[in-house]
Homo-oligomer: A and B are copies of this chain.
Amino acid sequence: MPYYIGDVIKDQNKLIARTRERFKEDGIDVQISAHVTGIDTTQGMIELQNQQKIPYDILVMATGTAAVIPNLPGLDLPGVFNLRNLEDAIAIKTYLREKNARRVLIIGGGFIGLEMSEALHSAGISATIIHSHALPANRWDGELSALMLEELKANGVEFLGDTAAVSIERGTDAPLRINTDQGFREGDLVLIAVGVKPDSTLAKSMGLAIGKTGAVAVNFAQQTSLENVYAVGDCCESWHRVSKRWVNIPLGDIANKQGRVAGRNIGGRPLTFAGIVGAQSFRLFNLECAATGINEKEAQQIGYVPVSTIAWGSAIAPSMGFRKIGLKLVADKSSGKLLGAQAVGLAGAVGRINALSVALWAGMDIDQISYLDLAYSPPYSGAWDIIHNAAQALRRAISAAKG
């Protein structure tokens, strides 16, 4: 199944017109291509690029993220694209078709770069990923990322690890060339997927408090430092229930929840956002990849002594076959409390991480997790699930570490 590539956005203008009509029925004016150039917080007034001024009583900031742009000559060449918004997506798809692209070069092997390689593959286009680390998706443990690398290779995606892009220029055998510290690659298109950062430009210009993460600081009602200004989604921070820190994790599900919380508060039905545990997932061809909570490095930073283990096994019972899965658990040495989990597998990785996300939410320890009651049947797990096996192994590791 193609992933983000297809004919979803066939008739953009019609779609926009219809959407605007619908909102109008509810008395909501939707303005598109309306770039906000300034906000006067004392007057309660926003100013658009076309000088139009619109007054507000309450303002919601949902400015999202901006793509991180590496410092690289040649970024302005035709065929070099960022991955940020719908316009980028439409431009990329148009270009791919018009140029009848056969090979795409992707700078960045995080999960967005990986997802792009899968999407391109399913559209019959080869991909080369150029990544600064040896393994992809560095949020995951190396043992788990190694499985992702195998999956990339099995599906004909070239992965150049430990490789830094140096410049982009016109190619010889193809329109574009990326020179790296390890040689060069040529292709029809270059995608920059080295990450995103919260877009807090407007917020800063308004004097809103910005958190340590660079994202807009909010309270549990999604209010910024100005009482009548709310911020939601990728541009603002979220309370991390495990690290007990304000973090910026730009994901669509978090944005949806924050939007709803802000709407409830603005509409007079107060609600606070209870925060996140860092749950996330992506698909890489036949692999489910998911993670939650914090990793060892983050645990150390906030003062825990993390102990971890990786359990390898099958997502289903032996009588049903073998579907490889690896599950890493991280716990606090002194309390045994679960701090994080990462899973990669041919089945069931997301389901396991969701169960463990709820366990993190509730503050469970490894002893409880070792004996959790899960919905066992052979097509979906062994009688001891890999969650149990991993938790019990970690329990033993903690006992051993305590001596």
Contacts and interface: CB of A to CB of B under 8 A. Distances in A.
A213 B171 CA distance: 77
Interface string A369-392: 001111111111101110000000
A362 B356 CA distance: 12
Given A354-B351, A358-B362, A362-B362, A377 B319 contact: no
Interface stretch (A44-52, A182-190, A251-259): A251-259
A403 B256 CA distance: 28
B355 A8 contact: no
Contact of A377 (B8, B282, B377): B282
A279 B375 contact: yes
Interface stretch (A19-27, A60-68, A287-295, A328-336): A287-295
A376 B281 contact: yes
B1 A290 contact: no
B368 A361 contact: yes
Interface residues of A, number: 59
Contact of A359 (B291, B350, B358, B379): B358
Contacts of A355: 351, 354-355, 357-358
Interface stretch (A75-83, A132-140, A201-209, A270-278): A270-278
Given A350-B375, A351-B354, A253 B359 contact: no
Interface of A: 1, 3-4, 8, 241, 251-257, 273-283, 288, 290-292, 319-321, 348, 350-359, 361-362, 364, 368, 371-381, 383-385
